[in-house]
């Protein structure tokens, strides 16, 4: 049995990034950048008006003659001379000699005569070339996760495609003869299968959508076969259940028969002690405990960072934050505890109902409170650490 920190180190050591692929901007969402991107053009690339108004040469003059107009997208820009003003609109190119745009609300127009009701600051409302970014500047760095804002930013720079890391194809295997699909009344002594759909949604939340779901009955033969099939299709295997020491737990043996190399089995934690992790060349496998809350905790603490690393993230782990504990807690068994909890402002309260079979409390948790093995007694009012589940 190993410590949580050791298990996380082993995960980090065996989380090779997937291939680099070039994708169109439309397909880049949720991927991590595989290269630094430099701006191919300046933003803006010409001097732009930030407002609707009049382009002028800054002076104390309060009466100017309007001699032309320029609109966003105009290729020809009228010339401006001292004593003159050019009608201009937001996004339009600023005439060569103009250094200032006075907003129309600060003027009165009488025919071709413009009266300035106040003198604007010099350079007001003119966006200089490269105000946001100059051509050649670093736009986004390798490891950055592409979101909608990044896509908008890169589109504005004219990118059509970029290099990112592939997202993994994940095989989700659920073991257990007692598992039943939803949609019919429960058969005697069966339970509705819930880990499959739960882990599928957790994968989707971090941007993974290529998911193969495989149901596995509790026999060694079926488990060996299912693992073999999954290894033919997927980059990462998540196997739920069958990893404990019961007579019908065949996952460990099936992995060994398929030649998957074990990196660790069993972590000094509650819940989720019987967690298994191994690799075979560039494929990785997690044997997750079948108890739903254990499975999800192992996902947050180990699987999620592993998948993020494989996708090219540089900050793979869930954020650790601090809050003030609202009750006394005991941890007598020298284990790391991950407790389903609610955080409000900086106050954290673990829920009653921590059993690893219970999702009722997980469903309303926004934090996983971490109690370290040495923290045998923690008191109300102590500062404690938690993993932020709002990611």
The contact set with ligand AMP (CB under 6 A) reads 174-176, 178-179, 191, 193-196, 240-242, 244, 246, 249, 289-292
- Is 292 an interacting residue with respect to Mg ion (CB under 5 A)? no
- Is 287 an interacting residue with respect to Mg ion (CB under 5 A)? no
Q: Tell me the closest approach of the beta carbon of residue 195 to Mg ion, in angstroms.
A: 11
- Is 312 an interacting residue with respect to Mg ion (CB under 5 A)? no
Whether 323 and 384 have beta carbons less than 8 Å apart is answered as: yes
195 makes contact, choosing from ligand AMP, Mg ion, none, with CB < 5 to 8 Å by partner type, with ligand AMP
Q: Tell me the closest approach of the beta carbon of residue 239 to ligand AMP, in angstroms.
A: 10
Phi, psi for residue 385 in degrees, rounded to 5: -110, 140
Q: Tell me the closest approach of the beta carbon of residue 242 to Mg ion, in angstroms.
A: 5
- Is 278 an interacting residue with respect to Mg ion (CB under 5 A)? no
Binding segment toward Mg ion, per CB under 5 A, in 15-23, 241-249, 258-266, 275-283: 241-249
Closer CB to ligand AMP, 158 or 246, in the complex = 246
Binding segment toward Mg ion, per CB under 5 A, in 95-103, 108-116, 237-245, 370-378: 237-245
Q: Tell me the closest approach of the beta carbon of residue 276 to Mg ion, in angstroms.
A: 14
Q: Tell me the closest approach of the beta carbon of residue 348 to ligand AMP, in angstroms.
A: 27
Closer CB to ligand AMP, 174 or 354, in the complex = 174
> What residues form DSSP beta bridges with 387?
320, 368
Closer CB to ligand AMP, 22 or 178, in the complex = 178
List 44, 95, 196, 241, residue binding Mg ion (CB under 5 A): 241
Q: Tell me the closest approach of the beta carbon of residue 180 to ligand AMP, in angstroms.
A: 10
**CA–CA distances in Å: residue 136 to residues 22, 38, 41, 153:** 21, 5, 7, 15
Binding segment toward Mg ion, per CB under 5 A, in 2-10, 125-133, 288-296, 348-356: 288-296
- Is 176 an interacting residue with respect to Mg ion (CB under 5 A)? yes
Q: Binding residues for Mg ion, per CB under 5 A? A: 176, 241-242, 290
């Amino acid at each position: 049995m190993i410590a949580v920190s050791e298990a996380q180190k082993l995960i980090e050591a065996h989380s090779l990034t997937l291939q680099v692929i070039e994708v169109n901007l439309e397909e880049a969402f949720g991927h991590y950048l595989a290269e630094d991107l430099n701006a191919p053009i300046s933003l803006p690339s010409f001097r732009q008006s930030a407002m609707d108004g009049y382009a002028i040469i800054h002076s104390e003059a309060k009466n100017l003659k309007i001699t032309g107009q320029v609109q966003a997208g105009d290729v020809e820009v009228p010339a401006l001379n001292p004593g003159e003003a050019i009608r201009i609109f937001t996004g339009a190119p600023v005439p060569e000699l103009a250094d200032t745009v006075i907003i129309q609300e600060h003027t009165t127009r009488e025919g071709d005569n413009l009266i300035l009701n106040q003198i604007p600051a010099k350079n007001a409302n003119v966006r200089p070339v490269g105000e946001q970014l100059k051509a050649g500047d670093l736009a986004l760095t390798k490891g950055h996760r592409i979101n909608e804002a990044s896509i908008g930013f890169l589109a504005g720079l004219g990118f059509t495609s970029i290099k990112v890391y592939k997202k993994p194809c994940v095989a989700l295997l659920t073991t257990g003869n007692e598992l039943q699909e939803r949609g019919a009344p429960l058969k005697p002594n069966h339970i509705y299968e819930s880990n499959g759909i739960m882990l599928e949604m957790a994968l989707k939340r971090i941007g993974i959508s290529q998911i193969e779901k495989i149901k596995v009955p509790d026999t060694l033969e079926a488990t060996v076969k299912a693992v073999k099939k999954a290894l033919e299709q997927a980059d990462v295997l998540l196997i739920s259940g069958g990893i404990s020491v019961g007579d019908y737990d065949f996952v460990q043996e099936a992995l060994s028969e398929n030649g998957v190399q074990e990196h660790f089995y069993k972590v000094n934690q509650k819940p989720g002690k019987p967690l298994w992790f191994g690799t075979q060349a560039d494929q990785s496998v997690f044997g997750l405990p079948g108890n739903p809350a254990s499975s999800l905790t192992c996902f947050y603490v180990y699987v999620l960072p592993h998948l993020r690393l494989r996708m090219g993230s540089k900050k793979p782990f869930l954020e650790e934050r601090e809050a003030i504990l609202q009750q006394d807690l005991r941890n007598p068994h020298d284990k790391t505890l991950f407790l389903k909890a609610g955080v409000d402002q900086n106050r954290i309260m673990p829920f009653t109902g921590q059993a690893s079979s219970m999702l009722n409390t997980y469903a309303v948790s926004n934090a996983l409170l971490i109690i370290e093995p040495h923290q045998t007694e923690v008191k109300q009012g102590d500062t404690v650490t938690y993993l932020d589940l709002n990611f």
